[in-house]
Amino acid sequence: MKSLCTRIIAIAVLPCLSVPAIAQEFHAGAPLGAVNEAGVHMPMSNNVKVFGSFHFSESCTFDPDKNLVLAMNTGNPGDGTENDGFVSLINPDGSVHTAKWIGAGRSGLELHHPLGSAISNGVLYTVDVGYVRSFDLATGQPLRAVPIAGSTLLNGIAVADDGTVYASNTRSPEQIFKVTPDGRASVFVDGAPLAAPNGVAIDREGNIVVVNVGDNAVLTFSVNGDLVRTEYAAEGGNDGVVVTEDGTKYVSSVRFGSVSRIRPGQQAEVIATGIPSAASMCYDSVQRQLVIPLNGNFALAFIKL
């Protein structure tokens, strides 16, 4: 089924930088600590664990080099002009490493309500109120902001090895956008079988996997936009999708609180239930666990595989 649209809707490289040419100085946040009575900053001792630091975390992604989970936080609800979104760094046991890493200060930073997130080749990507934004994974420094003309709710995101971004638009018009490494945005898939598309992932063959909120379909598209496979999660209302090294897909239902596992060539099986607002999860490949943000519950859930 051909679903390719070659209409170019935005060209954005130099004009879309999120930091001016002579930018304000950007500083990322530091791990938890406090200044003692002597005026010396003391890092938190390793016999203390802190949990939390989230504010409507809708997605996460995992950095195996840091062995940390990056949790996206949308800040306070509003009209999208608040510029108060932030990124937390979380240890694999769920305790807080850095409460506000990106977002500790606003100098040189624009980040409003980040939703989906992904990591590729040392870059953190997120969708944020009509933009695909990118940040240096080592420093948190903002890199680029590409506007997606015609988007109404950018939600899920995946990034191929070559830096090509695929982002879902959940509200009408139901679409998947493609952003090339040079910043050119176009419609990749338009309309059915998309049904309020949400989570996006890249499989081991480089195909683009999409799950719908509107039904339980798990759709696999080639890089040309052809629908090459349709599978089904155990329940609908899906938000997150993870594809592991062996081709197994995990799908989280934000509406019904379950996680489905779809092994290659097999039907879906439920591996977890009762997870409130199970949103855009990520896979911790070091500890071999799923990490699932719980949206307005301001929490993360962990499932050992």
Q: What is the mean pLDDT of each run of 10 residues along the chain (305 residues)?
A: 36 36 72 93 92 94 98 82 93 97 93 97 97 97 97 98 97 98 97 98 97 98 98 98 97 97 97 97 98 95 97
For residue 75, what pLDDT is reported?
79
Question: What global pTM score does this model have?
Answer: 0.90
User: Among all chains, which residue has been given the structure tokens 């664990």?
Assistant: 49
Amino acid making up residue 156: G
Q: How many whole angstroms separate alpha carbon 194 and alpha carbon 1?
A: 12
For residue 81, what pLDDT is reported?
76
Q: How many whole angstroms separate alpha carbon 233 and alpha carbon 214?
A: 12
Amino acid making up residue 252: S
Range 8-19+51-304: architecture per CATH: 6 Propeller (2.120)
Provide φ and ψ at 16, rounded to 5°.
-110, 15
For residue 24, what pLDDT is reported?
59
Q: Where are the domains of the chain?
A: 8-19+51-304
Sort strands 259-262 and 269-272 into parallel, antiparallel or unpaired.
Answer: antiparallel
